[in-house]
Amino acid sequence: MTLTIQHEAALEEACLLAQIGVGDASAFRQLYDRYSTPLYSLGLRMLKNLSETEEALQDTFVKIWKNAAHYDARKSRPFTWAVTIMRRTCIDRIRKLNREPEVTTFEPDQDQEWATAEVVRETVAHNETRNQVEEALKNVPEKQKKALELALFSGMTHSEIARSLEQPLGTVKSWLKRGLFQLRNTLTETAL
């Protein structure tokens, strides 16, 4: 039942994006009303600064407005797409300010990892608390757990994680992929 509700919401939000793509301001307001609070919350956790977060949120919605026509429902759900835009906007601001992000979500490098990362992101973004994610991480092997923590809570890229853990990039990607599958399964079981 929960999956059906989520699927219906995703379809409705995809329709809003299609309307925004042709310049529908009313659809944009509806999407803003749905997404502004969770995106603001994500930005505040990452940037730890109210004015920076407000600017990042504004930049994110400008990007959504400009790119809605290019949204591809085959690659991600609408909310995941918006979270990715917000996350990237925040990371750009952090890098501009020469700071490291402290809390964020995982950004996959390859399309085949996208579906797994999307499930984790949406689970976290839709009212899962950090404590629940940390509890689920207890079931993940230590090496994979460390790589996931750096990706999920520190916002590090695959390359940054590889340097931090002094491991080859391919090894880190494997750890993340296996860890994400296990984390996804644990979070899905918890949600049921």
All domains of the chain in start order, with CATH: 2-96 (1.10.1740.10), 111-191 (1.10.10.10)
Query: Between the CA of residue 152 and those of 19, 40, 99, 161, 164, what are the distances in Å?
Result: 32, 17, 17, 11, 15
The answer to whether residue 42 scores a pLDDT higher than 70 is yes
Residue-level pLDDT at 119:
47
Contacts of 170-173 with CB under 8 Å at 24 or more apart are: 172/147, 173/109, 173/110
Measured between alpha carbons, how far is 89 from 59 in angstroms, rounded to an integer?
7
> Is this structure's pTM higher than 0.75?
no
pLDDT of residue 187: 63
CB contact at 8 A, 94 and 56:
no
Of all residues in the chain, the percent with pLDDT exceeding 90 is 20
Q: In this structure, are residues 27 and 71 in contact, taking their beta carbons and an 8 Å threshold?
A: no
Please say if the pLDDT value at position 58 is more than 90: yes
User: What pLDDT is stored for residue 60 in this prediction?
Assistant: 95
CA triple 106-187-85, angle to 5 deg: 30
Mean pLDDT of the 120-130 span: 49
Mean pLDDT score across all residues of the chain: 77
pLDDT band at 111 (very low <50, low <70, confident <90, very high): very low
3-class SS of residue 105: coil
Mean pLDDT calculated for residue range 66-91:
90
| Residue 29: predicted pLDDT | 93
